[in-house]
Amino acid sequence: MKSGFLKQGRRAMMLCSLAAVWALPSQAQAWPDKPIRVIVPYAAGQGADVLMRLLGQELSASLGQPVIVENKAGAGGNIGTAAAAKSAPDGYTFLLGTNATNAANEFLYSNPGYSPATDFESVAMIGLLPMVISTSAADIPANGVAKLITQARAHPQSLNVGLPSTTANVVFAQFVKMADAPLFGVKYKASGQALTDTIGGQIPLVIDTVTASRAHIAAGRLKAIGITSRNASEMLPGVQSVAEQGVSGFDVVAWDALFAPKGTPTLVIHKMSDHIAQALAIPEMRKRMMDIGVEPLVMDPAKLKDFVQLERKKWGDVIVSANIRID
């Protein structure tokens, strides 16, 4: 009698377990059946926020559910990223991650509050944000990386470079190392003052985003020496990359990508990735992204995972060797 009860109990437990397993694919197949939240770990109005709201409009239409942007700013993106890492992996919370949150911050901060390597699933790349080295100096020409290197070697540490962000600091450190160009970095809190000082001649050079720099380049107030992506970008026509000008392999750019908490169903991840790829293929979407300084780039989950692993090594190596720290 007791044995019969035990058998029935085991059978009931097995059926419950199987029902739970069977329910997962059906739930994922029905996804999405309620609003989707994307945590942006930066303040409203900043570049990542503007990008996600732009993309979110298209995703809302294609997915048939609202895509809600939730700003959780602070600590260089760590607060919002940590919140996303702790969210339920049910396919209804995602992270708009960046080169900072998912590649650099673990090396810049002693305790960012999450692990980019183990707390997230890669979903889809969204786009690249190349930086540009610019000058107002009369004796350094546009597309003049070779001239800049020659001058830096002839007068070590005499050419100041404005650095208004952590990304600019990393670009600078990698350029100095790979080009063997002994420049002197000057840190700024924001783009405005760094660009103003370069235009006014207080410093000869600045490294900043294409978005912040290109209006000044178009107006002739600055000359673009080189863009920091591996190849030239249609966002800055006529500007050669640093790599194309002799610093072989140079490629340091900011980027934005979508991630999900670890354990999010694979079917959901691939569905979301497909919807993002479709959105990035729309000509008007591509144009609007490039207008805000983001070069669209499609990567599926597997390619993004491999890319982020390489980026973590690249950013980590530069940050550690240059001893760049925030806390």
**Digit-coded pLDDT (tens) for 211-258:** 899 999 999 999 999 999 999 999 999 999 999 999 999 999 999 999
160-163 and 131-135 beta bridge pairing: unpaired
In this structure, what token pair is assigned to residue 89? 């992996």
| Below-70 pLDDT ranges, the chain | 1-29, 327
Which CATH number does 35-128+254-322 carry?
3.40.190.150
Position 25 scores a pLDDT of: 53
Which CATH number does 131-245 carry?
3.40.190.10
Whole-angstrom distance, CA of residue 247 vs CA of residue 280: 31
Question: Which residues share a beta bridge with 184?
Answer: 160
Residue with token string 């550690």: 320
**Digit-coded pLDDT (tens) for 10-58:** 555 554 544 544 444 555 668 999 999 999 999 999 999 999 999 999 9
Q: What does residue 265 show for φ and ψ, rounded to 5 degrees?
A: -55, 135
> Looking at the chain, which residues constitute the CATH 3.40.190.150 domain(s)?
35-128+254-322
In this structure, what token pair is assigned to residue 188? 């700024």
Position 326 scores a pLDDT of: 87
Terminal C-alpha separation, the chain: 67
CA-based diameter of the chain, in Å?
Answer: 97
Cite the DSSP H helix spans in the chain: 2-30, 47-63, 78-85, 99, 105-108, 145-154, 166-179, 191-199, 210-218, 266-280, 283-291, 301-322
> Looking at the chain, which residues constitute the CATH 3.40.190.10 domain(s)?
131-245
Whole-angstrom distance, CA of residue 216 vs CA of residue 199: 8
Whole-angstrom distance, CA of residue 40 vs CA of residue 47: 10
Whole-angstrom distance, CA of residue 206 vs CA of residue 307: 28
